[in-house]
Amino acid sequence: MTISNMNQEDIICKVLVFNSDDQLKSIELRYEVLRQPLGLDFKRTDLDKESDQIHIGAFAGNKLVGVLLLKTMKDLSDDILKMRQVAVSPDFQSKGIGKKMVQFSEKWANQNGYKIIDLHARKNVVPFYEKLGYHVEGDEFLEVGIPHLRMIKQL
Ligand SMILES: CC(C)(COP(=O)(O)OP(=O)(O)OC[C@H]1O[C@@H](n2cnc3c(N)ncnc32)[C@H](O)[C@@H]1OP(=O)(O)O)[C@@H](O)C(=O)NCCC(=O)NCCS
């Protein structure tokens, strides 16, 4: 499958097993899309702490083209999931893959008893989440050196 003959239906989302080949590839994708452009890297200790998070991958054939993490907020509430590290491979952006991953995550959250998804959106991506039913809560703040807004969706 090439990008030009790819359809939305060809994109499959699934939960990745921590430390599997696909999950390790997803770290490379997160680095390429989210960290390298800001001149940042991951710390091994932070990546190890993600063992209890839900790692979701989007695949075009067997190529990993998107990633998204869900983190439980058990210390705060059993109802809330934090969505983080949402990234689509540059060549595959604007083809509905981000939307498909968010919708897959919401289905997973629903099936697992969560009621709210909470996230920190980069300011320039706020319209993407708004289209998916998230709303801004509170004021702008800096994270990884760039403006962010907290966004929430009641499932
Ligand atoms: C943001 C990102 C995850 C969106 O995924 P995507 O696959 O490119 O987006 P989709 O094609 O699913 O877009 C869904 C809708 O949101 C819109 N949209 C996507 N990104 C947008 C943006 N930055 N600003 C405005 N609208 C946007 C699309 O136009 C589309 O609208 P439509 O449904 O009316 O056609 C992806 O572009 C990405 O990885 N960007 C770089 C990393 C990043 O900023 N991650 C988010 C950190 S909070």
| Overall number of domains in the chain | 1
Residue 3 in any domain: the answer is no
pLDDT at 74: 84
Distance 27 CA to ligand 1 centre (A): 19
Residue 110 is predicted with a pLDDT of 96
Q: Which domain holds residue 87?
A: 8-154
> 62 in ligand 1 pocket by Cβ < 6 Å?
no
Q: What is the DSSP string of 18-79?
A: TTSHHHHHHHHHHIIIIIGGGT----HHHHHGGGGSEEEEEEETTEEEEEEEEEE-TTT-SS
Atom of ligand 1 nearest to the CA of 85: 47
CATH code, domain carrying 104: 3.40.630.30
Using the mean position of ligand 1's atoms as its centre, give its distance from the Cα of residue 30 in Å. 15
Taking Cα atoms as reference points, which of 88, 72, 70 lies closest to residue 15?
Answer: 70
- Residue 10 CA to residue 127 CA, distance in Å, equals 25
Mind listing the pLDDT tens digit for each residue in 27-37? 999 999 999 99
CA quadruple 141, 65, 129, 99: dihedral, nearest 10? -170
69 alpha carbon to ligand 1 midpoint, in Å? Answer: 16
Strands 80-88, 63-72: parallel, antiparallel or unpaired by DSSP? antiparallel
- For 135, the token pair is 């709303």
Establish if 109 belongs to a structural domain. Answer: yes
Q: How confident is the model at residue 17 (pLDDT cuts 50, 70, 90)?
A: very high
pLDDT at 1 over 70: no
Domain membership flag for residue 121: yes
Is residue 1 included in any domain, yes or no? no
Kindly state whether residue 2 falls inside one of the protein's structural domains.
Answer: no
25 lies in some domain: yes
